[in-house]
Amino acid sequence: MTGMGAVSPLGVGVGVNWEGIRDGRSGIGPLTRFPCEDYPTRIAGEVDFDPSLYLDRKDIRRMDIFIQYAMVAAIEAMDDSGLVIDEANASRVGCIVGVGIGGLQTIEDTHDSFVQSRLRRLSPFFIPKLISNLAPGHISMRFGARGANFAPTSACASGAHGVGEAFRQIRDGYLDAAICGGAEAALTQLGVAGFAIMKALSRRNDEPQKASRPFDRGRDGFVMGEGAGILVLEEWDAACARGARIHGEVIGYGANGDAHHITQPAPEGRGASECMKIALEDAGIEPTAVGYVNAHGTSTPFNDVSETLAIKHVFGAHAERLAISSTKSMTGHLLGAAGGLESIYSILALRERILPPTINQEEPDPECDLDYVPNAARAADVSIAMSNSFGFGGTNACLVFRRAEGDESGAPRS
């Protein structure tokens, strides 16, 4: 990986994001996007964002906010990578960005107008503004990347699938580089109401910064967030040849399904554990090689117990020595963007030798009895990390990362 870009409730930019993660700062607060006094959940991880600082007005009018987030993160990632796309390599650079829901705000806004005016006020940009694949589509047009271009749509695993599919295309020789990750912006009246009516969201409205509390006994649901995490992946030798700084390496990817339930994980984390095993086998490493797991860790009663059981099943006795944390305790759950952003956090944990904390661990759940790096970041010399993402419908994705060896600027691996 040679480039990173981030937009999240912790801020715009990788630097401010990592500072917030390292310091254990919460990005959760009162929901301000729309009146919600009658909602059982009135908190969220909103992004403080002015698109005009990054994009021109013409583009903004044609992009739902999830696309705007993706574009801003992609611009940062490409600037960070220094990758130049020209006629010689354009067809070998892809754009694969996962999106779970798409332009929900555009649908809601346009519906209200359409009911009143019918076709007289319907914009011809309505469909292109909201469909998921216009996140990678706009990115490809901005940078002239003509390789594989698509948007995995797999609920909360979308971003991880975006990274994993890009990794496979590069490893299998179809691409030399890819702009990949995830984006999401579902903090709308219908989006929040839909998750709230399922009783999936935390109702700790009086303490928003303590509401996302993965693996804690007092957890009562996840907190919705929004944003984007975009990475630039390149074939190792090509990146070294151009002298790129290499932040870290993707070495394994697993994807599978539970075939169990529309929202609940499979019993004892069966699907999740199988997915982690696939990723380890793909990486060609033993479970004992992993030192850190960035957990899916949503702060819901079902997920956190299920994921704990899955980790124990995969890692056996080594699970007791693993450091595990959920950065969702600080960002909330970015849904389709989560896997992209958490890939960045995982790579930074390896590069900076600092493990992110799980904040709000006040009373550990007896059923969640592993080391979740409670409340404060931890210095640790870990070289391999795993990142988990699981979604509704039983869709699972798992990524394995390795710290870049040598001087981290394109030096050969040891």
Told to judge if 318 belongs to the known catalytic residues of this protein, a careful annotator would answer no
Q: Are 263 and 198 in contact (CB under 8 A)?
A: yes
Q: How many CB atoms lie within 10 A of CB 285?
A: 17
Paired tokens of 41: 């959940």
Per-residue b or e along 357-374, where b marks 16 or more CB atoms closer than 10 Å to that residue's CB: bbbbbeeebeebebbbbb
Q: How far apart are CA 167 and CA 146, in angstroms?
A: 17
- Cα-based torsion angle of the residue sequence 356, 360, 364, 369 in order, rounded to the nearest 10 degrees: -20
Using only C-alpha atoms, what is the Rg of the chain? 20
- The Cα 296–Cα 364 span in angstroms is 17
Residue 216, both tokens:
């804690």
102 HSE (CA, 13 A, CB side): 17
Give the residue ranges of DSSP H helices in 25-157: 57-61, 65-81, 104-117, 126-130, 134-143
The single residue of 180, 333, 368, 398 carrying the catalytic annotation is 333
The letter for the amino acid at 31 is L
CA 254 to chain centre: 16
Q: Which of 36, 156, 180, 275 is the catalytic position?
A: 156
Residue 389 has phi, psi (to 5 degrees) of -145, 125
64, 70, 72, 75: CA torsion to nearest 10: -140
Pairing of strands 248-257, 292-294: unpaired
- Total residue length of the chain: 414
Please give the structure tokens belonging to residue 285. Answer: 């490493």
Map residue 153 onto helix, strand or coil: coil
Specify the DSSP class assigned to residue 357.
P
Q: How far apart are CA 18 and CA 11, in angstroms?
A: 10
Q: Residue 7 and residue 14: Cα distance in Å, rounded?
A: 8
What whole-number distance in Å separates Cα of residue 75 and Cα of residue 98? 17
Q: Decide: helix, strand or coil at residue 325.
A: strand
Q: How far apart are CA 344 and CA 171, in angstroms?
A: 20
Catalytic pick among 36, 296, 368, 398: 296
Active site residues: 156, 296, 333
